[in-house]
Structure 1
Amino acid sequence: MAAVPRPAPAAAPLIALAGVTKTYRNGDLAVEVLHGIDLEIREGEFVAIMGASGSGKSTLMNILGCLDRPTTGSYRFMGRDVSRLSRDELAALRRDEFGFVFQSYNLIATANAAENVEVPALYSGLPAERRHERAQALLAELGLADRIHHRPGQLSGGQQQRVSIARALMNGGRIILADEPTGALDSKSGADVMKLLAELSARGHTVILITHAREVADHAHRLIEIRDGRIVADPGPRPPAAAQAPFAPQAGRGVASALADVVEAAKMALRSLRANVFRSVLTLLGIVIGVGSVIAMLAIGDGARQAVVDRISAMGSNLLLVRPGAPNQRGFSGTATLVLNDVYAIDEVPNVLAAVPEQTSTATLRFGNADTVTSVNGTSSKFPIARQWPVARGTFFSDRDEADFATVAVLGQTVADALFPGGRDPIGQYVLVNNLIFQVVGVMSVRGASPMGSDQDDIVFVPYATSSLRLSGQRYLRNVTVAVDDVKRIDDTQAEVETLLLERHGVVDFQIRNMASIIETTEQTQNTMTILLGSIAAISLFVGGIGVMNIMLVSVTERTREIGIRMATGARERNIMQQFLIEAVVVSALGGAIGVAGGLAAAAVIAALGTPIQYSVAPVLLAFGCAFATGLVFGYLPARKAAKLDPVVALAAE
């Protein structure tokens, strides 16, 4: 007896639900919406799930579309148990296999038709050029070639629904889930949409239609009725028609790139800013003020510090000032504790550039009918080197002049102007200094005011020996100025000078003041003021950051449905979080850039008004970096809130 051949095993169902229930809880109240749903849907079917409002059909659709999870029971898609998948795995399944067509279209209002269609491809990694080509081809196929750049508000209801169908097909759309697709349309537009769904079914797409209207459900090949959370009628799966083409998945999917994700998120961020220009400007304002004030305040602080340092440095920041008298001695005793030989000995200490005596007295200078009372400084020929004060005209007196007790003088610019008005050249002229005739051999360069406010140019320099013998009559030194070569070793040099003088004198009958330490102390004080100014400005930057967070939280609330749309089309948690985080960073970075420009402009205006300003790169980088960090820190909470939204809840938001 011949063996009877067995029939070929039936293909595994595309979708298989077994004992699926869904319960919603509100505190202690539990409402079971679905009661043990068993359902199989095979590849290529055109299924209508029909029921009245409250029957559970929308809840069933959300579970079928992986937007929601069943409370109990199993859901297998192509043999895979999806009830155990993570949020991101469900998002990937929606992205690759499902396309949604909603009653209210659920288009992103700030994006045009092509951009709305491209949304699923953003999350599948399709390159931008191919994404644009496919979106335009789908829209053209659906009769919207002339509406590609129109926003949803510029399209009719039927056109918006065709855009949503094109979006559902962007990544292939193995399964098209249509939730009341004709509910918001007129009869003609509704008929056109149903015709499109029938064509998609004929191409091999599995179409699941959710409706409450019998005339809409009649377009499907299989009608499932649901009532009170239970399936009450289901003829069972039907094999595809002979004329139906098998489903052809989209070829050439892309690979998601982190850089591409960031670029697209930045574009969406800028589009969102353009959509709410006034609010964006107010948000930017807080960051702009914060960054601008940080830069301006620090520029003012650095300028003030530099001005003080420059004035002290004019006295010589590389100087040691040696004076007679014990450290605790008050006043000047007149004891000759410092002599010229001490100067010569100090001059031989390593790292000493020059050691010069300074003996100051007051004298009256006359030339012709002009006279002036000024200070006379008896010093050595190395004075210009020690004080870093060059001669402007003529020369300084020489070692030979000192040895010969020469009556030669070098005038400060103020004295030269007083005795030789009108720009007369004083070089070679003879002046009376306390009735002694001195020849002018040079004029010093302009020095300006001292840190104490006195005029440093109101002075005359003469050889020390000449001053001591013929002018002041003093035989002791009031001051020795020591210039060091390497300022970094000034402390070591000071210690060597102290040791030398202690060996020569046997007792500590001198005092040494380190000018570098004075400048360091001044800088520390000024740094404290700069930090204070910067802190005050940083507070405004902090307030601006709080403003960014507040606006981003409002944005998340306003765009909850957009978040749901993106999740339904395949956005994972990191995609949503990345988008809103980058939006916050873009706001902060843009505000930071404007604030940098504004701060530099404000500093320039302040400088033009006469306030010392010092520009440096560090405050600019610091302020902009803080603005960037503000976006990251204060954008995190809103971004996390957006990423954790439930897709079903987000789509239901108004």
Structure 2
Amino acid sequence: MSEKSQPLIELKNISRHFSSGETTVKALDNVNLSIYPGEFVAIMGQSGSGKSTMMNVLGCLDRPTHGSYQIMGTDVSNLSPDELAALRRQTFGFIFQRYNLLGTANAAENVEVPALYAGLSRTERQTRAIELLTGLGLGDRCDHRPAQLSGGQQQRVAIARALMNNPPVILADEPTGALDSKSSEDVMDLLKKLNAEGRTIIVITHEEEVAAHAERIIRIGDGKIVADNGTKPENEQTGSTRQSHSKLTGGSIVGETGEAVRTALRALRVNFFRTTLTLLGIIIGVAAVITMMAVGNGSKEKVLTQISSMGTNILNIRPGAPGIRNSGDNATLLPSDAQAISDNISNIEAVVPQRSGKKTLRLGNIDASTTVEGVGHTFPIARDWEVEKGTFFTEADIRSYAAVIVLGATAEKNFFPYGDDPIGKFILVGNIPFEIIGVMKSKGAAPWGGDQDDTAWVPYTTGLVRLFGSNYLNSITVKVDDVAQIEQTEADITALLKERHQIENFNVRNTASFLEMATETQNTLTVLLGAVAAISLLVGGIGVMNIMLVSVIERTREIGIRMATGARRRDIMIQFNTEAGVVCTIGGVIGVLLGFFAGYILSLFDVEIAFSTGPALLAFVCAVGTGLLFGFLPARKAAHLDPVVALSSE
């Protein structure tokens, strides 16, 4: 047999059986058929005769149950799904009865689809698509969507798409079934012209008028060929039917991803409301992560700053055994303990005995409950707290039990709301008058809560005798000279007090340990807030998966069209995974902006906010990662659809 008589398509003993419950339907039953290059073949049959199954097998959309199917000498029975996709892409152009155009794409974009999977650049695709549409009389309709075109125009777009990769075989399934007589005649003239150019045309039809245009008519009934008016083994145009775009073996991942992004944006625009609902979950999740982490970090920084403001070289001695929580109302620490520490321990800059309690202060017709602290004269040195007005009391005031008082900034505002000078005025603490000799600078909130400035200070000797009625202290504050030796100083103080008390009924802590404890606590809080926000992001991701699963179901026919035009499983995976990624990327960007905006709004209400790039970047990456992760299953489901099943979906 000469090269010219080599069949282009050859079916040997092909059967295609379908199971319906316990019944086996033989759609094709032991069919033998050879089609040669350049033929114009019409396969005729009534509904249920097996002609559509024949087309699906011929176009590699379906696999035969039994038999051998060869295309240009290659047996396709053992080819993988992706190899079959490549074969469809290079060999066949499909023209469907219902056109099967993508509703979200315009005419030119529909025509470009096969070339996308063949690897043509975007410029080449656009140029060729416009050329084909112009040649078919649709040059002025390139930017029109299918809904804006008539039936005949849509079928011409479908023909242009079939010609995009210049395939040697055109498979037309009832190409005139949905057209009027004039449009039907135009389509058949086009097919005859394509055949005259050397292409092999195979038309599936049940209409005698359509079949009459073919040079060879094959009739099929009950899955068998019942009539065949002859073959065309010799054809002068055989050589011209070879694929002129044989170099196109598939698109690159980068190119396909770029096109997938554009397709995704089109699909998202079409389903705007559903897209908005999907985005909402991601936006809320990302914004929650950023805002909550900013609140957590702001709170942490505030507490640490407040503790640090006390100094990291402070030792605080309180009554009660170590590890036992004590309110301080315990006759354990005495003023003499403070004096002993000052006299016997080195590396000490200041020792401040302290006793405090809530007292009512009165000035004229103003009274307020304020914390009153009895402290030593070195209190400003120990706490690095400056006097803003007047002076602090002296050691002489301590020894003389002077009735003098220093106000905090808030206390001053409470009793002198109009800005009067408080120095030299007398204020009642309980029923005892104290002369105001100074006002401390504002310090703000305390690490443990409350307003540090809503305080008044008196000599501890005066306080113990005239205000508190007892001789024990709430605490002793020790400022260490050399912080590098703070642990040794702490040990020395512990040993001294144990020797004096004969029992360890006190505990010594340094501000470094407070700082460490506060850091751990705030870190735990921040992690908790982040976990709550991450759950929001997870819920958003599940929403993406649900929406993408719905999208796969709704767009099953589109998936079938893409597979018929040469899309591999990888291409479908990229398409749907990209759509999920695009949704989450857009949601992530909006979420980041919303998170920063929400943090800014909270800051206006005196909520401490500390933004950092880490949480924002992490939230955005997690959003995109969530989209890809939760988009994988829907994408995989789409990629593993059977082309012929997908195409038959409504």
TM over 0.5: yes
2: distance between equivalents of 1:369 and 1:103?
95
Contact 1:339 1:477 in 2 (8 A): no
Cα shift readout 1:118-176 (whole Å, capped 9, x = no counterpart): 11111122111111111111111111110000001111111111111111111121211
Tell me if 1:453 matches 2:447: no
Is contact 2:38-2:238 (8 Å) kept? no
1:379 lines up with 2:376 in the alignment: yes
Pick aligned residue for 1:262 from 254, 257, 279: 257
Is the Cα–Cα contact under 8 Å of residues 548 and 634 in structure 1 kept in the other structure? Answer: yes
CA shift, 1:59, in A, is: 1.2
Q: What is the CA distance between 1:58 and its match in structure 2?
A: 1.5
Does 1:136 find its partner at 2:135? no
Counterpart among 141, 150, 154 of residue 144 in structure 2: 150
The 3-state SS of whatever aligns with 2:220 is strand
Q: How many residues align?
A: 640
Instruction: Note if 1:548 corresponds to 2:547.
Output: no
C-alpha distance in structure 2 between counterparts of 1:488 and 1:113, whole Å: 78
Q: How does 1:241-320 map to 2 (within 5 A)?
A: 241=236, 247=242, 249-250=244-245, 253=248, 256-303=251-298, 315=310, 319-320=314-315
Which residue of 2 is the match for residue 52 of structure 1?
A: 46
Q: 1:634 to 1:484 in 2, by over 3 A?
A: farther
Alignment of 1:148-297 (within 5 A): 148-231=142-225, 232-241=227-236, 247=242, 249-250=244-245, 253=248, 256-297=251-292
What is the SS of the residue equivalent to 1:267? Answer: helix
What are the Cα deviations for residues 447-506 of structure 1, in whole angstroms up to 9, with x where unaligned?
A: 2454453654533477x9999999999999864323469999976774565457668988
Is residue 13 of structure 1 aligned with residue 12 of structure 2? Answer: no
1:188-587 equivalences in 2 (<5 Å): 188-231=182-225, 232-241=227-236, 247=242, 249-250=244-245, 253=248, 256-303=251-298, 315=310, 319-323=314-318, 327=322, 331-333=330-332, 338-340=337-339, 342-343=341-342, 346=345, 348=347, 354-360=349-355, 375=372, 377-379=374-376, 381=378, 383-384=379-380, 386-392=382-388, 412-413=408-409, 423=419, 443-450=439-446, 451=448, 453=450, 455-456=452-453, 458-460=455-457, 479-483=475-479, 494-495=490-491, 498=494, 508=504, 510-518=506-514, 520-521=516-517, 535-587=531-583
Closer/same/farther in 2, CA of residues 70 and 474 from structure 1, 3 Å limit: closer
- AA paired with 2:152? G
Q: How high is the TM-score relative to the length of structure 2?
A: 0.83
Shift of 1:356: 2.8
Assess, with a 3 A threshold, how the Cα gap between structure 1 residues 587 and 419 changes in structure 2: closer, same or farther: closer
CA contact (8 A) 2:68 2:77 kept: yes
Which digits, 9 at most, give the CA deviation of each residue in 1:605-638, with x for residues without a partner? 4443455544444443444344333323332222
**Distance (Å, rounded) in 1 between the aligned partners of 2:360 and 2:264:** 77
Compared CA separation, residues 70 and 467, structure 1 to 2 (3 A): closer
Q: Secondary structure at the match of 1:173?
A: coil
Q: Distance in 1 between matches of 2:516 and 2:562?
A: 59
Structure 1 residue runs without a partner (length 5+): 1-6
How far apart are the structure 1 equivalents of 2:464 and 2:136?
107
The 3 A distance-change label for structure 1 pair 409 and 262 is same
Q: Is the 8 A contact 1:317 1:516 kept in 2?
A: yes
State the Cα deviation string for residues 586-619 of structure 1 (Å, max 9, x = none). 2233233333333443444444345554444444
Q: Which region of structure 1 is more displaced relative to structure 2, 179-188 or 539-548?
A: 539-548
What is the alpha-carbon root mean square deviation over aligned residues? 4.5
Q: Any stretches of 5+ residues in structure 2 without a counterpart?
A: none
Deviation at 1:70, TM superposition (A): 1.1
Checking the alignment, whether the CA contact within 8 Å between 2:331 and 2:472 is kept in structure 1 is: no
Distance 1:217 1:148 in 2: 31
After superposition, the C-alpha distances for 1:376-419 in whole angstroms (9 at most, x for unaligned) are 654355x4453232343577789999999999987644566689
Q: SS in structure 1 opposite 2:170? A: strand
Whole-angstrom distance in 1 between the partners of 2:414 and 2:228? 117
SS at match of 1:84: coil
Bigger drift between 22-31 and 413-422 goes to: 413-422
Q: Is 1:634 matched with 2:624?
A: no
Compared CA separation, residues 531 and 245, structure 1 to 2 (3 A): closer
**Equivalent residue of 1:338, what SS?**
helix
Q: Tell me whether 1:22 sits opposite 2:16 in the alignment.
A: yes
Q: TM-score, normalised by structure 1?
A: 0.83
